[in-house]
Amino acid sequence: MTKWFAAAALAALATAPVAAQQQQTPEVVSSGGFLLGRGLYTSCISQEANEQLACRSYMMAVADSMAMHKDNGWAPQSLCGADNLQVAQLGPLYVEYIRRNPDKIDWTAASTAYNALAESFPCARRN
C-alpha cells in the first residue's frame, strides 16, 4: 500500500507543474514550456503558503529524481550527506543558490534545482 501511495504521489507531482506553467507569464516559462529558474525562485521567495509549497515540492521531486537515477544505476550518486535534510530547508537552499548564481536564473528550474542540491550536498570525487 505504501509503494502504491508513493507512486500515486509522484505521479501527481509530475503533472502539477505542467498545469501551473500554463498560467504563468512567458518570462517564467521557456519556449519549450519548461519552468525556468526565475519561476521557481519566485515561488521560493513568496510569502504565500501555496507558492512555498510549490517550491518545496519541486525541489523534493528533483532530489527524489537524483536518488532514483542513482538507485537504478543510470547515474552516479550526486546527492550525498542529505540524510537529515528537512523539507523546509529546500526553499532557502534554492534561493541562496540563485543569489550566488544570478546568471543561471533563466536556465530551466530542473537544472538549477539539481545544481543547488548537488552543490549543497556534494559527493566525494573519485580520482
What interhelical angle do 109-120 and 37-45 show, nearest 10? 60
pLDDT digits (tens, 9 = 90+) for 25-82: 556 665 567 899 999 999 999 999 999 999 999 999 999 999 888 888 887 788 888 8
Task: Identify the DSSP state of 122.
Answer: P
Q: How many C-alpha atoms does 36 have within 13 Å on its Cβ side? A: 16
- pTM passes above 0.85: no
CATH class of the domain whose range is 34-127: mainly alpha
Task: Give the start-to-end residue ranges of the domains of the chain.
Answer: 34-127
Answer left, alpha or beta for residue 33, where phi above 0 means left and psi between -120 and 50 means alpha.
left
Q: Which residues, listed in sequence order, are joined to residue 36 by a DSSP beta bridge?
A: 108
Question: What's the mean pLDDT in 1-21?
Answer: 44
